[in-house]
Structure 1
């Protein structure tokens, strides 16, 4: 049974959402999961896949990246920072699954863009990010394999996005509650044109006393069953938009993810990998080596970016809470014998006067 999302509980998040209130509100974006759960093997992990474009012809995806705190990994970012684009999918998994997911994504790209890889001196550099799930999953057992990345990509769809313990979010903890996958979107109008900004997070960050939801000190009210004495997680934020932006503008958009997660209370702990990527599906076109010597691309007036910044911050704030309210109680495997509690949605309703 699907649990209510944060808005269903009556939480008054600002802004206008897309129809799905998900990253798939951005046209063309699809999300898939491979979720791996087997308590007998201490296995609770998986892979989340995001495909920005549905085309089987390779096209650049314009992007920008920013790290608030670099205690983590997101592959392919050196090229994104230099070139302002990437090709192919984005995958999110656990810390020790990066290599396997990268290999799986590479195999998938070779097959998905078969003609391109057969005829050209092509190379695959997928984006693979991670957060640590070793409290709820035997991360050293290396459960994630290349086929799981391929399965997540093959399961992609442009519809509603499952939250909580799905895909790479399966073994994640957020503010010492069960965390994981969350998503949200915002719709805005600029210059007579409508645009969507949306976020997907893998939320595995924060300690209980920090947790603030829409200004309420939830973590100081719900103090039971805490797990940590200090920060030991991370958060990956993926922002998507159909607004036409340059790589530089997208990097500026990615920076605002720091404010988005900060609204939930985290200061960006030293042991947390807070790593963000923003991409735009606008300006479809061929790979640069096949483009004419001088190419024209549309770009939104930089004076209008504040509207996108606010939409991004609001989407990320809500996505993190969506990940939290989708959680369920899960036993820890390291150390054994503890319980990672779900955030109690009914108590949350009381805090916000909705019960």
Structure 2
């Protein structure tokens, strides 16, 4: 049964959402998952238990040809990995899908995504001297998953890519978020979106997070210190997680503007209480599907791009912060309880919806 999301529970997050309240509200974006949940008991490296997966994001869907996806990158705290971002920082674009998985599966995800690209864009790779630099990101799931067993295989990554579609997006214990922990509750995958008006036209901003960060005492929802009111069953002595934030939009932007948008993810995750822990990889990527054009190797000497005046960005920044915050809370609300494997036998509980609502009523956040 699908769990209720933040708005379903009556939590008054600000802003107008798209149809799905998801990253897939950005036209053309497709998302797919592979989720692996196998085995119980103490960990045996290479055998399990396995609670992991892959999340695949295709910014332009499954088109026959590669086109630049304009982008900006920001790392609030760099204890993590996102491949391909050196070129994003230099050139302002990438060409690949985005895959998110666990820390020890970045390599196989990169390998498999390269294979998928060569197959998907076969004519371009056969006719041109092209190279693939996929964007692969990770967070650590070793508390709940046999991460050292490296259970993600090429077939799992390819399945996530091939299954990508538009429409509603699964949350919680799915894809790369399967084995993640957030504010010492069960965490995982979360998403949200906003509609913003630019020059009289409606555009979409969508967010997807892989939430694996934070200590219980930090957790704040809509300004309410929820974590301090839910002190039971903590599992961590110090913060040791990470969060990947992917922001997509159909608003035309230049790469420097997308980097500034990516920076706002830091404010978005801060609304739920994190200061950005030393051991956390807080890594953010923003992309725009506007300004479609051919790859540079096939383009003319002079190019033109449409973009929004920097002075008009305040409503965009506000919408990004709102959607990031809501995505984190949606991840918490959708997640389901799991048992730790290291150390063995502790419960990482899903946040209790009724207890959360009781606290929110106490602070007059809901009726």
> TM tier, shorter chain?
over 0.9
Aligned to 2:44: none
RMSD over aligned Cα atoms: 0.8
Name the CA distance, whole Å, in 2 between partners of 1:346 and 1:126. Answer: 42
- What secondary structure sits across from 2:313 in the alignment? helix
Aligned to 2:175: 167
Name the CA distance, whole Å, in 1 between partners of 2:329 and 2:19. Answer: 18
- What secondary structure sits across from 1:352 in the alignment? helix
Aligned to 1:263: 271
Aligned to 2:309: 301
- What secondary structure sits across from 1:194 in the alignment? strand
Aligned to 1:217: 225
Aligned to 1:202: 210
Shift of 1:291: 1.0
Residue 183 (1) aligns with residue 191 (2): yes
- What secondary structure sits across from 1:348 in the alignment? helix
- What secondary structure sits across from 2:8 in the alignment? helix
Shift of 1:106: 0.4
Name the CA distance, whole Å, in 1 between partners of 2:321 and 2:39. Answer: 36
Aligned to 1:34: 34
- TM-score, normalization by structure 1: 0.99
Name the CA distance, whole Å, in 2 between partners of 1:221 and 1:115. Answer: 58
Aligned to 1:43: 50
Residue 101 (1) aligns with residue 112 (2): no
User: Do the aligned residues in 1 keep the contact of 2:18 with 2:204 (CA within 8 Å)?
Assistant: yes
- What secondary structure sits across from 2:100 in the alignment? strand
Provide Cα deviations, 1:17-74, integer angstroms capped at 9, x if missing partner: 0010000000000000000110242100000000000221110000000000000000
- What secondary structure sits across from 2:11 in the alignment? coil
Q: Which has the higher mean CA deviation after the structures are superposed, 308-317 or 344-353?
A: 344-353
Aligned to 1:138: 146
- TM-score, normalization by structure 2: 0.96
Shift of 1:190: 1.7
Name the CA distance, whole Å, in 2 between partners of 1:42 and 1:350. Answer: 35
Name the CA distance, whole Å, in 2 between partners of 1:177 and 1:104. Answer: 31
User: Do the aligned residues in 2 keep the contact of 1:187 with 1:196 (CA within 8 Å)?
Assistant: yes
- What secondary structure sits across from 2:89 in the alignment? helix
User: Do the aligned residues in 2 keep the contact of 1:184 with 1:319 (CA within 8 Å)?
Assistant: yes
Residue 329 (1) aligns with residue 342 (2): no
User: Do the aligned residues in 2 keep the contact of 1:197 with 1:312 (CA within 8 Å)?
Assistant: yes
Q: Structure 1 runs of 4+ off > 3 angstroms? A: none
Provide Cα deviations, 1:272-294, integer angstroms capped at 9, x if missing partner: 00000000000011001111110
Residue 245 (1) aligns with residue 253 (2): yes
Name the CA distance, whole Å, in 2 between partners of 1:118 and 1:31. Answer: 27
Shift of 1:100: 0.6
User: Do the aligned residues in 1 keep the contact of 2:229 with 2:359 (CA within 8 Å)?
Assistant: no
Provide Cα deviations, 1:98-134, integer angstroms capped at 9, x if missing partner: 0010011000000010101111111011100000000
- For structure 2, the residue ranges without an aligned partner over 5 or more in a row are 41-47
Name the CA distance, whole Å, in 2 between partners of 1:242 and 1:110. Answer: 26
Shift of 1:352: 2.1
Name the CA distance, whole Å, in 2 between partners of 1:13 and 1:215. Answer: 11
Residue 13 (1) aligns with residue 13 (2): yes
